[in-house]
Structure 1
Amino acid sequence: MSCAYLLVSHGSRDPRPEIAVQQLLGLIREQAKEGIFDSACLELQPEPLHQQIKKFAVTALAAGCDRLQVIPLFLAPGVHAMKDIPDEIALAQQALGENMIVDLQPYIGTHPNLKSLLAKQISPKNTASWIILAHGSRRPSSQAQVEAMAENLGAMVAYWSIAPSLEAKVKDLIAVGKREIAILPYFLFPGSITDAIAQSIDQLKLQFPLVNFYLAPPLGANTQELAQLIWDSINT
Structure 2
Amino acid sequence: MFAPTHSAYLLVSHGSRDPRPQQAMNSLADLFRQCLGSRNHVWRSPFSAAADQVGVMTATLELGPLPLAQQIVQAGEQAAQQGYRQLQVVPLFLLPGTHVMDDIPQEVAIAQTRLGSSIQVVLTPHLGAHPGMVRCVRSRLARFPQAAWILLAHGSRRSGANAPIETLATQVGAIAAYWMTPPQLEAQVQRLIEAGHSRLGVVPYFLFEGTTTDAIADKVQALAQHYPTLALHLAAPLGPDPDLADLLMDLALVPA
Corresponding residue number in structure 2 for 1:12: 16
Corresponding residue number in structure 2 for 1:175: 194
Give the distance between the partners of 2:74 and 2:33, measured in 1 at CA: 20
**Alignment length, in residue pairs?**
235
Corresponding residue number in structure 2 for 1:69: 88
Matched AA of 1:202: Q
Give the distance between the partners of 1:224 and 1:152, measured in 2 at CA: 22
Give the distance between the partners of 1:93 and 1:235, measured in 2 at CA: 20
After superposition, residues 53-68 of structure 1 pair within 5 angstroms as 53-68=72-87
1:24 to 9, 13, 28: 28
Deviations 1:77-118 (A, max 9, x none): 000011000000011011011121111000010111110001
Scaled by the length of structure 1, the TM-score of the pair is 0.97
Corresponding residue number in structure 2 for 1:233: 251
Unaligned runs of 5+ in 1: none
Are residues 1:157 and 2:161 paired? no
Larger proportion of helix: 1
Instruction: Name segments (4+ residues, structure 1) moved above 4 Å.
Output: none
After superposition, residues 1-236 of structure 1 pair within 5 angstroms as 2-33=6-37, 34=44, 35-220=54-239, 223-236=241-254
Deviations 1:149-181 (A, max 9, x none): 111211000000011110000001111111101
Give the distance between the partners of 1:159 and 1:140, measured in 2 at CA: 15
Scaled by the length of structure 2, the TM-score of the pair is 0.89
SS in 1 for 2:190: helix
Unaligned runs of 5+ in 2: 38-43, 45-53
RMSD: 1.1
* Pairwise CA distance, 1:31: 2.2
